[in-house]
Amino acid sequence: MSTESNEPREPREPDTTPADGAAAPETDAPEPGTTGSPAASTAPTASTAGDPPATGAERTDSPLTKARMSKGDKIDRLAQLTARRETSSGDSLWVAAFRRLRSSKMAIIGAVIIGVFVVLAIIGPWIAPYSPTAQSWRGEVFSNRGIFVGPRAENWLGLDNLGRDELSRLLVGARQTLLVGIVATLIGFVVGALIGGVSGAALALGGRVGQRIDAVVMRFIDMMLALPSLLLAVSIAAVMGQSLTTVMIAVGVVQIPIFARLLRGSMLAQANADYVLAARSLGVKRRRIVLAHVLPNSLGPVIVQTTLVLATAIIEAAALSFLGLGNLDAAQPEWGVMLAQSQRFFDQAPMLAVYPALGIIITALGFTLLGEAMREALDPKLRS
Amino acid sequence: MLRLIVRRLLQLIPTLLGLSVLLFVWLRMLPGGPASARLGERATEADRIAMERALGLDKPIWDQYYIFLRDLLSLDLGVSTRTGRPVWEEFTQRFPATVELGVTAILIAVVVGVPLGYLAARFRGGWIDVSAVSGSLIGICIPVFFLAFILKEIFAVGLGWFPTGSRLTTGINATDVTGFHVLDGLLTGELDATGDALWHLILPGIALASIPLAVITRMTRASVLEVLQEDYVRTAESKGLQQRVVRLRHVMRNALLPVITAIGLLTGSLLSGAVLTESIFSWGGIGSFIRDAIDGRDYPVLTSFILIIALVYVLINLLVDLAYSLIDPRVRVH
Amino acid sequence: MSLLSVDELAVTFTAKGRKDFQAVSGVSFSVDQGEVIGLVGESGCGKSVTSLALMGLLPSKGVRVGGRAEFDGTDLFGLRKSQLRDMRGTQLAMIFQDPLSSLNPVVPIGVQVTEILSRHRGLRGEKARKEAAHLLERVGIPDPTRRLKEYPHQLSGGMRQRALIAMAVACAPRLLIADEPTTALDVTIQAQILELLRELVDQEGTALLMITHDLGVVAGLCDRVNVLYAGKAVEVAERRELFASPMHPYAHGLLGSIPRLDSPRGQPLNPIRGSINDQIAWADGCAFAPRCDHYVMECLTGTPQLTEPAAAGHGVRCVNPVRDSSDLDVPHLEAPVMDTTGSEATTRHPGGEA
């Protein structure tokens, strides 16, 4: 498609800068007589248009200027006027995507949320005012009679149903929550990308054997996708018994088919791209094409998905906790478990459920925002 | 078209067979078993062995699988080891409840999400767009069980506008025809039963709709934005057509194509959400029954239920593909 | 009085956070009944923007349209949206560049033709289908009743463009705007489509605004030509006059850059240097100066004006125009690429509807 047809909707960036500022003659510009674009690309960013008085002077002796004007003057003037504001060098896809990401409000909000969350996860246990497990104020809370202690000077967010400091538990729990999210995502990513990569590579490398491998692997992936993910996770948790590791693995396994499908599909699209055909016709080895071109170019959507799955993993871990399959170890408070356990007391102490719920929602939102912003930044169709 | 359907149905057979083998092996890896689950902790070893023989679990696993397949061919799904009732009976009793809930959720998601996504795209950057986009982002991030719980606490327990659970008010007269209460009421003319069933559906329906709604809204918005840029929309405008024709025939008909595919894929996540929503609203669907079946190591129920769910999922996606090819003539060629 | 007269048309894109971009400025021309006017220039010169501005198809946000465009006495830019909708298809109609992407892929051709009939002519049902089939037949689509049920992807490129033309002429518009209608087509199909357009102009007296970058199309079809560069008309002339003595260095270069079969072997081609990106702002001087062989210092002293230095009706926007075109050897372009006998005079439709 020509730029012409895009014109009405997407105004082309004007290549020239307006007349402002003083002239800065550029002497090493090529002659206008030679072929190629004169001056345009070599002109410095600072220079723009000439100063009006000079222009006026030239106009007055116009009949003679043609004869008197040196070639150098002509070149200088052109160089000034065609100067570009910004040399649009051939940025790589990733650099360009990163630049778009930096200017996206969504990405910034997401990154800030994630940043705060990660910092809390790291320093949480040290800044927590009290032990998260000590039932120091046990005598003041009677959950069976509906007596709870709300926020007060020594316990900023109040006490939980066992007389433990809620703030300390939330701070320590941030680390567990992040850990569950990251490990589960890693499991899904590594195994899924491996399966999808093998399948996609087998298909891209071609041959009957490659197709067979791909067909078998994809049938398996389809089977996994046909199972409701939560049921899969629940049954895995049932096999492994209740623990934090169980939750991580159960949530991670559920993500495997998604990653596998995504990477394979993305590799397939790349393998059918014209540049692969070009590389092939140049005699580049198929294995090299797959490893050096197809695979790296297919990773974009997978990386986006990784960010989004971090959010899903945290939410699904909470769901498993809600179903009673979460971590039982009281020494390791986790937001999902805290949310699940506090729902029983919602009528008397709703905030005990709201705090961890807000933590989960905001954290998941952070990852989702960043992931969506990345998706937009990498999408060639949305570029402007 | 017919060939496509037949081919897809044939492709289904190996997938389901493979899945049944996996399920068989997987379930028997679960610690404990139906016998110990049913007898409790104080049962003697002899009791357990006797029970396992009665359930046919003492045979080698391939024999068990052979029996399962043989019974399946005569449409016998076996008997629940937990309740002692035929699996098929358990299924047909609960399946309509889950379907009714799921359909309600998808309807809410489509009826609200498609117009919302369209408006967001048309007034890109306006207040509708900003709130639709941020709303759908937040919607994806709220755990379904928490949303269901909050809705129930506020609107059922707190304000008392809606029932706190179950599918019908006890005492209401509802004849069972199809198992879908809303439909049954209409069929038998018991409109108060239909109304009551709808009243019960609202809160769990909204909770379950949250994720599909968010996905469909975003999808419609992105799709409409893309279609609005298309040359054929400009052509339609150049013909001086009424706005209504341009929007419905030229914009929406194209923009809904990816949304239809998304609806098919959403049914999978819908079932996960149903497990959680059903347990909060004591819905009595298959979601909570499967959850209990896992705890009770109810092999026949788990195998059959999960296979049927997988079958339903695949069939829905087949239907979606067929619907797609009806709307998009370019697909029909293949 | 002309059917359409465009006066100092200016289109500015105003994106948030970006500098305004003037895509078109100071374009003036007029089109008479039964006349074919060419807008010629390379990609990005503002031809398409001009046509979309006239049709009112530019987005309402982020675009500023200035100047005047009068169609049979009505000010096109002063119309309300609904009035413009009524005019589109009946008074002005447009044919687009890429026939595949310009047709709705999921709606049968028949519906895409009949919808305009029902909108503007009130035809419905069997009547509309009959008329649609008749229209398809008229633009040279064989077996039209079958084609009505087919979808765009089932038609060949030439057929699609014919179908688009059928839609455009369905309500006998008085002005047809064709935006590079042959660019996406094979050369043989191109000639057929141009012939079809020629026929429409000759038989119906429709005025045609032909937007193209192809000088062959201009030579075969147009009565008058506007050469655009960077959003401004740089040369305006009768076709014959332009081909015989192009005065703007850009037009001169365009004509000189056409490869010829009868030139001696080994003679290098003669392209215009650089690309449209090598330009300066019109406010500073002539936008073409960086690529120009006739560049003098005066070229950079403000916007050059459209003057008629040699002959009346032959406007040139240049301070140092080409006076002697004897180096230019383009006689074969005078001989049209296709049969255009009778295309000279604008008064050649004594029987046409006036």
Q: Where are the domains of chain A?
A: 6-90, 102-382
Check residue A92 and give its pLDDT: 65
Check residue B47 and give its pLDDT: 76
Check residue B216 and give its pLDDT: 92
Nearest CA in chain A to C101: A1
- Give the Cα separation of B31 and B40 in Å (integer): 14
Q: How far is B325 from chain C (nearest CA, A)?
A: 10
Is C119 close to B329, i.e. CB distance below 8 A?
A: no
Cα Rg, chain B, nearest whole Å: 24
Is the pLDDT assigned to residue B108 strictly greater than 90?
yes
Q: Which amino acid is at A64?
A: L
Number of helical (H) and strand (E) elements in chain A, helices listed first: 15, 0
Is B245 close to C167, i.e. CB distance below 8 A?
A: no
Looking at CATH, the fold of the domain delimited by A102-382 is given as MetI-like fold (1.10.3720)
Task: Please return the burial class of A1, using the count of CB atoms within 10 Å of its CB with bins 0-12, 13-18 and 19+.
Answer: exposed
- Give the Cα separation of A336 and A342 in Å (integer): 10
Length of chain B: 334
> Which of C106, C108, C167 lies nearest to residue B239, judging by beta carbons?
C167
Check residue A93 and give its pLDDT: 66
Is C102 close to B329, i.e. CB distance below 8 A?
A: no
Annotate B253-315 with three-state secondary structure: HHHHHHHHHHHHHHHHHHHHHHHHHHHHCCCCCHHHHHHHHHHCCCHHHHHHHHHHHHHHHHH
Residues A119-132 have a mean pLDDT of: 81
Q: Which amino acid is at B184?
A: D
How does pLDDT run across B274-311, given as a tens digit for each residue?
A: 888 888 888 888 887 887 887 777 778 888 888 888 88
Q: How far is B103 from chain A (nearest CA, A)?
A: 16
- Give the Cα separation of B96 and B90 in Å (integer): 11
Q: Which amino acid is at B169?
A: T
- pLDDT: is B24 or C150 the higher one? C150
Q: Which two tokens stand for residue B262?
A: 């998304």
- Give the Cα separation of A254 and A224 in Å (integer): 8
* Chain B residues 224-263 with a CB less than 8 Å from chain A: 226, 229, 231
Instruction: Identify the residue whose tokens are 């723009």.
Output: A48
Is C102 close to B249, i.e. CB distance below 8 A?
A: no
Q: How far is A88 from chain B (nearest CA, A)?
A: 26
Confidence of residue A148 (pLDDT cuts 50, 70, 90): confident
How does pLDDT run across C98-141, given as a tens digit for each residue?
A: 888 898 888 888 888 888 888 888 888 888 888 888 888 888 88
Q: Which two tokens stand for residue C161?
A: 């463009």
Q: A-chain residues within 8 Å CB-CB of C52?
A: 8
Is C297 close to A73, i.e. CB distance below 8 A?
A: yes
Cβ neighbours, 10 Å, residue B82? 20
B154 touches chain A (CB under 8 A): no
Q: Are C177 and C94 in contact (CB under 8 A)?
A: yes
Cβ neighbours, 10 Å, residue B111? 13
Q: A-chain residues within 8 Å CB-CB of B313?
A: 226
Is A37 close to C296, i.e. CB distance below 8 A?
A: no
User: Please, what is the average pLDDT of chain C?
Assistant: 80
E strand or H helix at C258, and its extent?
none
Check residue B23 and give its pLDDT: 79
pLDDT > 90 in chain A, percent: 5
Return the closest-CA partner of residue C273 out of C284, C262, C288. Answer: C288
Nearest CA in chain B to C56: B238
Q: Are C216 and C31 in contact (CB under 8 A)?
A: no
Is the pLDDT assigned to residue C292 strictly greater than 70?
yes
Return the closest-CA partner of residue B88 out of B98, B96, B77. Answer: B77
Nearest CA in chain C to B255: C106
Q: Which two tokens stand for residue C157?
A: 């490129």
E strand or H helix at C175, and its extent?
strand C175-179
Q: Coil, strand, or helix at residue C46?
A: coil
Q: A-chain residues within 8 Å CB-CB of B33?
A: none
Lowest mean pLDDT across B127-141, B161-175, B210-224, C209-223: B161-175
Return the closest-CA partner of residue B83 out of B74, B73, B94, B72. Answer: B94
> Which of B232, B238, B257 lies nearest to residue C104, judging by beta carbons?
B232
Cα C122 to its chain centre, rounded Å, is 30
- pLDDT: is C351 or A373 the higher one? A373
A258 touches chain B (CB under 8 A): no
Is A58 close to C301, i.e. CB distance below 8 A?
A: yes
Residues on C contacting A at a C-beta cutoff of 8 Å: 13, 15, 18-19, 21-23, 43-44, 46-49, 52, 57-59, 62-63, 97-98, 180, 183, 273-275, 277-281, 283-285, 289-291, 295-298, 300-302
CA distances from A21 to A26, A67, A342, C7 (A): 15, 28, 66, 33
- E-only strand ranges, C73-132: 74-75, 92-95
Q: Are A170 and A157 in contact (CB under 8 A)?
A: yes
Is B231 close to C96, i.e. CB distance below 8 A?
A: yes
Q: B-chain residues within 8 Å CB-CB of A241?
A: 31
Top residue of A9, A117, A223, A341 to mutate, by most chain B CBs within 10 Å, is A223
Is the pLDDT assigned to residue A103 strictly greater than 60?
yes
Return the closest-CA partner of residue C49 out of B230, A10, B122, A381. Answer: A10
Q: Are B132 and B188 in contact (CB under 8 A)?
A: no
B60 touches chain A (CB under 8 A): no
pLDDT > 90 in chain C, percent: 0
Check residue A13 and give its pLDDT: 39
Is B141 close to A315, i.e. CB distance below 8 A?
A: yes
Top residue of B122, B229, B238, B256 to mutate, by most chain C CBs within 10 Å, is B238
Q: C-chain residues within 8 Å CB-CB of A36?
A: 273-274
> Which of B237, B238, B249 lies nearest to residue C107, judging by beta carbons?
B249
Check residue B50 and give its pLDDT: 78
Check residue A330 and give its pLDDT: 65
B137 touches chain A (CB under 8 A): yes
Check residue B328 and give its pLDDT: 79
Provide the pairing of β-strand C315-317 with C207-212.
unpaired
Q: A-chain residues within 8 Å CB-CB of C15?
A: 11
Is the pLDDT assigned to residue C64 strictly greater than 50?
yes
Residues C248-264 have a mean pLDDT of: 77
Q: How far is B272 from chain C (nearest CA, A)?
A: 35
Q: How much is the ipTM here?
A: 0.80
Note the helical H segments in C88-186. Answer: 109-120, 125-138, 144-149, 157-169
- Give the Cα separation of B327 and C108 in Å (integer): 11
Nearest 5 degrees, angle CA A225-CA A228-CA A230? 120
Is B276 close to A318, i.e. CB distance below 8 A?
A: no
Q: C-chain residues within 8 Å CB-CB of A40?
A: 274, 277-278, 290
Top residue of C277, C286, C288, C320 to mutate, by most chain A CBs within 10 Å, is C277
Q: Are B37 and B295 in contact (CB under 8 A)?
A: yes
Cα Rg, chain C, nearest whole Å: 21
Q: Which amino acid is at B84?
A: G
Q: Which residues pair with C99 in a beta bridge?
A: none
Is B240 close to C115, i.e. CB distance below 8 A?
A: no
Q: What is the dihedral of CA C161, C164, C165, C168, to 10 degrees?
A: -160
